[in-house]
Amino acid sequence: MTNRRPFVAANWKMNGNLASIRPLLADILAGVQTGMNAEVVICPPYIYIDEIALRLDNTTIGLGAQNVSHHDSGAHTGEVAIGMLQDYNTGYVIIGHSERRMLYGETDGIVAEKFKKVVDSGLKPILCVGETLEQREADETEEVIARQLDTVIDNAGVKSFAKAVIAYEPVWAIGTGRTATPDQAQEVHAFIRLRLARHDEEIADLLRIVYGGSVKADNANELFTMADIDGGLIGGASLIAEDFLSICQAAI
Ligand code: PEP
């Protein structure tokens, strides 16, 4: 198995304000500077991208956006274009988070378009896939994940995964405190890798597949030791510096 560098991203979602994110980031920076094996990325709310980009300059932490438009410019009130992200040294963009799919109507097709836009611009997508509780209980997990992946592969090509990260995020585990067991997560991660390997074994082997869904300081370790789990996408626990740093430390 290839030695993949672990990856941990903080998804702050729509939380915080300047008064809270400044000390949060300072504490995370202080902790990460002491040395981490994992690549660490912070995805703040859009309005703070400028502020966070300046503070991350010349540090080992990367910057990510939580979403991007699939249009280049024009009459799209409230949207942000990929070219705008390029102005801020943004390395990564979260694509297809289940909250975007479910609350904002993003179809597999739109997610695939966004993925391609990010790759074509030279940025790196963090592609989220995952099933709902209903789908898991109906034994449809693999079918759902396969469809979500295949739409992107068909649209952007398997080679476009060379710099991507995939986040397996079971919808029933996001923000619920209900984490997938390491075995449940590993099973889906292995399925994702195999699905990519059908097209390109090397890309599949190098691809970092991270887990997201109520990862906490006390369960990160057992999740991250699984063979195909290469780190995490962290929501709630990334808003507490000490917890987020413990999770980053667990990714070795
Ligand atoms: C997420 O939203 O990507 C996430 C994993 O959230 P949480 O860690 O809060 O479940």
Residue range 2-19: average pLDDT? Answer: 95
pLDDT at 2 over 70: no
Phi and psi, residue 47, nearest 5°: -65, -20
| pLDDT at residue 35 in the model | 73
Mean of the per-residue pLDDT values of the chain:
96
Given pLDDT bands bounded at 50, 70 and 90, which one contains residue 3?
A: confident
Given pLDDT bands bounded at 50, 70 and 90, which one contains residue 84?
A: very high
The 10 Å Cβ neighbour count of residue 55 is 18
The reply to whether 249 falls in a domain is no
- Structural domain for 26, as ranges: 7-164+171-178+189-215+226-242
Residue nearest to atom 7 of ligand 1 (CA): 235
The reply to whether 220 falls in a domain is no
The reply to whether 221 falls in a domain is no
Active site residue 97: yes
Residues near ligand 1 (Cβ within 6 A) = 11, 169, 174-175, 212-215, 233-237
Cβ atoms of 186 and 226 closer than 8 Å: yes
Q: Which CATH number characterizes residue 114's domain?
A: 3.20.20.70
Under DSSP, the state recorded for 128 is E
Given pLDDT bands bounded at 50, 70 and 90, which one contains residue 120?
A: very high
The reply to whether 250 falls in a domain is no
pLDDT at 33 over 80: no
| Residue 80 CA: distances (Å) to CA of 74, 86, 87, 162, 177 | 10, 11, 12, 25, 31
User: Could you give the number of structural domains in the chain?
Assistant: 1
The reply to whether 248 falls in a domain is no
State the distance from the centre of ligand 1 to the C-alpha of 123, rounded, in angstroms. 22
Active site residue 113: no
Give the nearest ligand 1 atom to 174 CA. Answer: 10
The reply to whether 105 falls in a domain is yes
pLDDT at 1 over 70: no
pLDDT at 73 over 90: yes
The reply to whether 58 falls in a domain is yes
Residue range 149-168: average pLDDT? Answer: 97
Residue among 97, 106, 131, 189 flagged as catalytic: 97
Cα(93)–Cα(186) distance, rounded to whole angstroms?
Answer: 24
The reply to whether 184 falls in a domain is no
Q: Name residue, tokens 């790759």.
A: 119
